[in-house]
Structure 1
Amino acid sequence: MKRRDFFKNGILTTLGLGAFGSYPTLAANHRNNGIAKNIIFLVSDGMSSGTLNMADILMRHKYGKPSTWINLYETNQVKRALMETASANSFVTDSAAAGSAWGGGIRVRNGALNIGPNGERPVPILQKFKSMGKAVGCVTSVQITHATPASFCVNNGSRNAMPEIAEDYLRLRFDVMLGGGANYFSPERREDKRDLFEAYRQTGFDLVRNTKELQQTKGDKPIMGIFADEGLPYAIDRINDPGLKETVPSLAEMTTKALDILKNKPNGFVMQVEGGKVDWAAHGNDAPALLYDQLDFDESVKVAMDFAINNGDTLVIMTTDHGNSNPGLFYSNQANKNFERLYETKASNEWVLNQIEPSFTSGRVRDLFMEYQKIPLKNEEVEAILASYKVGDDGLYNPSNLPFHQLAGLQSSYTSIQWAGTNHSADHVELAMYGPGSEKLKGFVRNYELHNFMLEAVGAERNLFL
């Protein structure tokens, strides 16, 4: 098959799946007829297989128990498949196109949110479910306006239009939206100076800004929870900072609260949960951030599975939108000992690098890495890090031009973790399901097929193009 035919067929196969005329009444008696009342769609953004693997090793040998995800495989509790992740214009997708395949049922070009290559505007899946009478929402560790949550919610030609997406959410009035991104709601940071925080309050939203407020909200209004200016702090940094731990909820805490609210909705609910900073850590080759954010996401998997096991009517979907940087634990005589340094680390690479200034002495930098990461850098390695501050290093999710890649290269001899690059990969990725409808999962799935899979799981008709 020619390259252009591959992408063309991916679109044409699903063009009939993008527009929904009148939404059907959903089947009742979910518990007894194999129809799901609820869907929890969990996305560890940018999770390569090595990320899943190393997080499980860390969990088993630091905490003495397996990760939830791998334990579900080990105990044969979920149906497992591989998923292809291409976009409309590339074998290698970005998060906007990957999420739009799920959210709109067609392949779109990288960077777009539910806008097809020929201008198609499929109705995003959370809008469909809301029209069917279900409660809907998103939980994420990055901006709530970021590509993956937005891909379930809106149509926009650019994933970068986050100020506009923040306005779209005001109009859509979804039930629970939790994450970061205050800069896209604040009049001080928005180009149009509009105070979206006040607009949300005035139109009946419960606006929550910290962990205490999240815990206290009753769920009798639509909820917009914003807990950071951009993405939330990495889990490893939140865990080791008492101030952050008090004010910024974990992904599992947000998931738990969202479920406590949504479970009371009579027609059921559909929610997306994204571990978005797994992807950011992979871009930065930041091993401490990567593994502890994957474990933070794994706690949300446990929350979702506990809920689904206690209710016979909930479909849980666990996956990623694409691989990223393909990290792995590689052989050496000291591989075990080196990896064990991750058991004691107290900070992400990003946090440590943000403490360093070009004026720091080599000794001060060396002490910093020993205190927070147990890595005994050599003099020449410290000098290389300091020199990189003068040169700078451009990178995605790296506005301060911190030397992420250089540091990861130096760390590999101390952790035995190596990286294939700093960007997304075209790998087939993990997909697993539990609950009503999971028995229909095939062994190999194309990303856009999950759109109709979710509709059918709740008893809706296939999304016929008219």
Structure 2
Amino acid sequence: MGSPNATVLQQFILRPIMLIVIVLSLVYPATAIAAVKNVIVLIMDGCGDEQLTLARWYKGSPLALDAIRVGAVKTYNADSVIPDSASAGTAYAAGVRTNSGVVSLSPKTTTIPPAPAHTLKTPRQPCATVLEGARLLGKSTGVVVTCRISHATPATYMAHTPSRKMDEDITEQAVYQNIDVVMGGGKKYFRPQSAGGNRQDQEDLISVLQTHGYRVIQNRTELHKLDKGKVFGLFASNHLEAEIDRLECAPEQPSLAEMTRKAIQLLSANPAGFFLLVEGSQIDWACHAHDPAHLIGDLLMFDRAVQAALDFAQKDGQTLLLALPDHNTGGMSIGNQCSDHYYTRLQPEALIAPLKKMQLSAPTLWRRVGKDKTPEKIKDTVIRYWGIQLTEKDAQEILKKAEQYGKNAHNAFGEVICPKYTDIGWTTHGHTGGDIPLFACGPHRPVGLLDAPDIGRLTAEAMDLDLNLLSARLFVEARQAFPAQAVRLDHTDPYNPVVRISYHDRQASLPVNKNLLYWGEEVLPLEGVVVYLPETETTYLPVQAIQAIKGESKPLPPITK
């Protein structure tokens, strides 16, 4: 039996308190956090904690990221403990763990457990992205990168292809996705080969954009003049310059922070809110190349872009901001075998001193070597632009490794110089598989250790968006909606395939990678693009197209819970 004092405590104190709690819960029921108005996702491609620590030492003060660290993310994909950017981006964009090289499609195979169940059971089925969902919610959407816009990470938010290498298809889908603001490089994939571009289908996508009411700008002066409207900023034929090279090699190109601020300015004019992806694309390339100069420049500029986004988000109060790498690259360490005997005495000044002398990225350094590939020219170029006096043996080793690396000849600089003349270590020219840091602020901010697909799912949930419902609305296999014999793919022009559907003695035409339905005399813009997957010979259409062909006037399926 309990003591008399315990009985009195329960009767006269605890029970009244419990009663008050029950009454209050009935009068003021708990409510879920309201959906956010805006989402900004900032990805520092190929980064990890050591790179961030190095950037902080170099800067000499805290990073903007430091104040919003909340956890970490596991990065493995469906078939490897080490992901590539396409599979990592798909996890963030569509909430699905997929195979290496795949752009926002469900996995063909899954070999790495645990693999969270997903309602998309069909291999290689398009998976709708948070950007597509935000657009259907009436929000403005944007993508800002320092690579070409068809590169792996931005592709995963805008397109659906079995390979990240399908730049022409990815670019075309991006053009027909009705995205409000797109900034980066890759102009050559917008122009036909007949006009000096790379498009084999001979389409001029810049003309298409202009016809659809976009402004197409090509330099930072035009960027700063923008104050409203839809825009594609194509600032380079391929990728933008490394930040450390930009002012000397391409001063007309805007910085990542400038593009981020302008994108937020344009997108935030929508009362319904916006979704924005920002990527510091070349942090990854710097780490692939073991290039401290490229790394520091691009990572610190990424941090300035984070600060621009933070300034808006903290003032706005209705914005979820996520900042994180997609994976780590290079296996960078502060400390290497050279520092084995003095690491307990290594001072910040000594760590940073050789890096402060580096004035160009390794790729630009290699271009400055020019055609005179001699040890003497290597030594002269390195002392001039990196401030390091090489030996004859060092220069010969750089030339030997450069020949081995072929198109990535510049990798030889970091591989030879870093172990001997800096305290920076590297383990690989590829990616690594460790957990990566997570930074966030605002409503629905996550905390703790997350799985990579959780990023896509929580982004969707923050906007009250159901990715499974969205996929079901945007991607229906044509032969499941119509008799198989009524659907065929017209390859008359192999670079411009068209889906033909016969229905009640009429024929509908839907060009692949576009959001257009040709139905009799009508041309109906669709809310999603038509996707064709050669491997499975399947075509996917939005429900809107199916209803239009069948003459159905019922409401489109919901995409919110």
- TM-score bucket of the superposed structures, by smaller chain: 0.7 to 0.9
Does structure 2 retain, via aligned residues, the 8 Å contact 1:452–1:463? no
- Which of 410, 416, 433 in structure 1 is aligned with 2:423? 416
**Which structure carries more strand by proportion?**
2
How far residue 103 of structure 1 moved from its aligned partner, in angstroms, is: 1.4
Return the letter of the residue paired with 2:74. Answer: E
Q: How does 1:421-440 map to 2 (within 5 A)?
A: 421-438=428-445
Secondary structure of the 2:282 match is helix
Does structure 1 retain, via aligned residues, the 8 Å contact 2:85–2:327? yes
Secondary structure of the 1:50 match is helix
Which sections of structure 2, spanning at least 5 residues, go unmatched? 1-31, 109-122, 473-561
Secondary structure of the 1:178 match is strand
- Which of 221, 233, 240 in structure 2 is aligned with 1:232? 240
Does structure 2 retain, via aligned residues, the 8 Å contact 1:388–1:403? no
User: Are residues 351 and 437 of structure 1, via their aligned partners in 2, closer, same or farther at CA, if it must alter by over 3 Å?
Assistant: same
Tell me, in whole angstroms, the C-alpha distance in 2 between the residues paired with 1:79 and 1:365.
42
Residue of structure 1 in register with 2:129 after alignment: 124
How far residue 153 of structure 1 moved from its aligned partner, in angstroms, is: 1.6
Which sections of structure 1, spanning at least 5 residues, go unmatched? 1-31, 73-77, 395-399
Secondary structure of the 2:188 match is helix
Residue of structure 1 in register with 2:63 after alignment: 67
How far residue 53 of structure 1 moved from its aligned partner, in angstroms, is: 1.2
Given the two structures, how large is their TM-score scaled by the length of structure 2? 0.70
Q: 1:297-344, CA deviations, whole angstroms, 9 ceiling, x for partnerless residues?
A: 111011011111111111110101101112122162467425312123
Question: Which segment drifts farther, 253-262 or 441-450?
Answer: 441-450
Higher RCO (C-alpha under 8 Å, 6+ residues apart): 1
Residue of structure 2 in register with 1:308 after alignment: 313
Say yes or no: does 1:106 pair with 2:96: yes
Does structure 2 retain, via aligned residues, the 8 Å contact 1:166–1:184? yes
Q: How does 1:243-254 map to 2 (within 5 A)?
A: 244-245=250-251, 247-254=252-259
Residue of structure 1 in register with 2:173 after alignment: 168
Q: How does 1:197-216 map to 2 (within 5 A)?
A: 197-216=206-225
How far residue 186 of structure 1 moved from its aligned partner, in angstroms, is: 2.0
- Which of 77, 85, 92 in structure 2 is aligned with 1:95? 85
Say yes or no: does 1:383 pair with 2:396: yes
Tell me, in whole angstroms, the C-alpha distance in 1 between the residues paired with 2:432 and 2:416.
19
Q: 1:160-219, CA deviations, whole angstroms, 9 ceiling, x for partnerless residues?
A: 111111111221120000001112112222223322222222222110111111112232
Given the two structures, how large is their TM-score scaled by the length of structure 1? 0.84
Return the letter of the residue paired with 1:210. Answer: N
Return the letter of the residue paired with 1:355. Answer: R
Tell me, in whole angstroms, the C-alpha distance in 2 between the residues paired with 1:402 and 1:119.
36
Say yes or no: does 1:115 pair with 2:105: yes
- Which of 316, 333, 337 in structure 2 is aligned with 1:328? 333
Does structure 2 retain, via aligned residues, the 8 Å contact 1:339–1:417? no
Does structure 2 retain, via aligned residues, the 8 Å contact 1:48–1:325? no
Does structure 2 retain, via aligned residues, the 8 Å contact 1:139–1:272? yes
Q: How does 1:321-360 map to 2 (within 5 A)?
A: 321-330=326-335, 332=339, 333=342, 336-337=349-350, 339-357=352-370, 359-360=372-373
Does structure 2 retain, via aligned residues, the 8 Å contact 1:42–1:272? yes
Question: Which segment drifts farther, 334-343 or 207-216?
Answer: 334-343
Tell me, in whole angstroms, the C-alpha distance in 2 between the residues paired with 1:264 and 1:344.
43
How far residue 388 of structure 1 moved from its aligned partner, in angstroms, is: 4.0
Return the letter of the residue paired with 1:195. Answer: D
Tell me, in whole angstroms, the C-alpha distance in 1 between the residues paired with 2:455 and 2:241.
30
Instruction: Choose 1 or 2 for highest CA Rg.
Output: 2
How high is the sequence identity, in percent, across the aligned residues?
29
Return the letter of the residue paired with 1:157. Answer: P
Residue of structure 2 in register with 1:393 after alignment: 405
Return the letter of the residue paired with 2:135. Answer: K
How far residue 461 of structure 1 moved from its aligned partner, in angstroms, is: 5.2
- Which of 263, 278, 283 in structure 1 is aligned with 2:288? 283
Secondary structure of the 2:405 match is coil
Q: How does 1:11-50 map to 2 (within 5 A)?
A: 34-50=34-50
Question: Which segment drifts farther, 325-334 or 154-163?
Answer: 325-334
Secondary structure of the 2:134 match is helix
Return the letter of the residue paired with 1:351. Answer: T
Tell me, in whole angstroms, the C-alpha distance in 2 between the residues paired with 1:447 and 1:251.
25
Secondary structure of the 1:172 match is coil
Root-mean-square deviation (CA, aligned residues, Å) is 2.0
Tell me, in whole angstroms, the C-alpha distance in 2 between the residues paired with 1:462 and 1:193.
34
User: Are residues 37 and 122 of structure 1, via their aligned partners in 2, closer, same or farther at CA, if it must alter by over 3 Å?
Assistant: same
Q: 1:218-273, CA deviations, whole angstroms, 9 ceiling, x for partnerless residues?
A: 322x211111121111001114x1x622x100000000100110111110001000
Equivalent residue pairs, number: 413
Tell me, in whole angstroms, the C-alpha distance in 2 between the residues paired with 1:455 and 1:364.
54
Tell me, in whole angstroms, the C-alpha distance in 1 between the residues paired with 2:368 and 2:136.
48
